[in-house]
């Protein structure tokens, strides 16, 4: 079963706008990770946020984590057409070795 659930399922914005995607999960976690996937190809790791962290930045990306609400958000600022992709959040099951992915948010950035 998939623990992470991304919202929205699809998002369409124009270049220069900000894109926000949300992820909710069910059980306690050690960390939460965000990945990007272009056109059904391999996953690219974007950012990892640990359970004791509340916010993390990487370039135009900002990730927040609220463990009390079991949710995370990914913000992409000043989006570009090249940001068009599917974005997935992934959590650990507690096993320490298996990532549990959501179904993803499909982002379309139009020029």
Partner 1 sequence: DAGVTQSPTHLIKTRGQHVTLRCSPISGHKSVSWYQQVLGQGPQFIFQYYEKEERGRGNFPDRFSARQFPNYSSELNVNALLLGDSALYLCASSLTGDIRTDTQYFGPGTRLTVL
Query: Rounded to 10 degrees, what is the CA torsion of 19, 28, 4, 8?
Result: -40
Q: Which is nearer to partner 1, 104 or 109 (CB)?
A: 104
| Minimum separation from the CB atom of position 8 to partner 1 (A) | 15
Residue 59 binding partner 1, by CB under 8 A = no
| Minimum separation from the CB atom of position 32 to partner 1 (A) | 11
Q: Looking at residue 15, what DSSP letter applies? A: T
CB-based contacts of 44: which residues, under 8 Å, 6+ apart?
35, 36, 37, 38
Residue 33 binding partner 1, by CB under 8 A = yes
Q: Which stretch binds partner 1 (CB under 8 A): 10-18, 26-34, 59-67, 70-78?
A: 26-34
Contact 4/66 with Cβ under 8 angstroms? no
> Could you say which of 10, 12, 18, 44 contacts partner 1 (CB under 8 A)?
44
- For residue 49, the cross-strand partners are 32
User: Residue 3: helix, strand or coil by DSSP?
Assistant: coil
Q: Which positions lie near partner 1, rule CB under 8 A?
A: 2, 4, 30-31, 33, 35, 40-45, 48, 88, 90, 92, 95-104
């Amino acid at each position: 079963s998939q623990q992470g659930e991304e919202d929205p399922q699809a998002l369409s914005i124009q270049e220069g706008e900000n894109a926000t995607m949300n992820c909710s999960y069910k059980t306690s976690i050690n960390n939460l990770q965000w990945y990007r996937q272009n056109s059904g190809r391999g996953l690219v790791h974007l950012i990892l946020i640990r359970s004791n962290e509340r916010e993390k930045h990487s370039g135009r990306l900002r990730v927040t984590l609220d463990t009390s609400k079991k949710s995370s958000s990914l913000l992409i600022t000043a989006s570009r057409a090249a940001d068009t992709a599917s974005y997935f959040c992934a959590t650990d099951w507690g096993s320490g070795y298996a990532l549990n992915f959501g179904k993803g948010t499909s982002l379309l950035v139009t020029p």
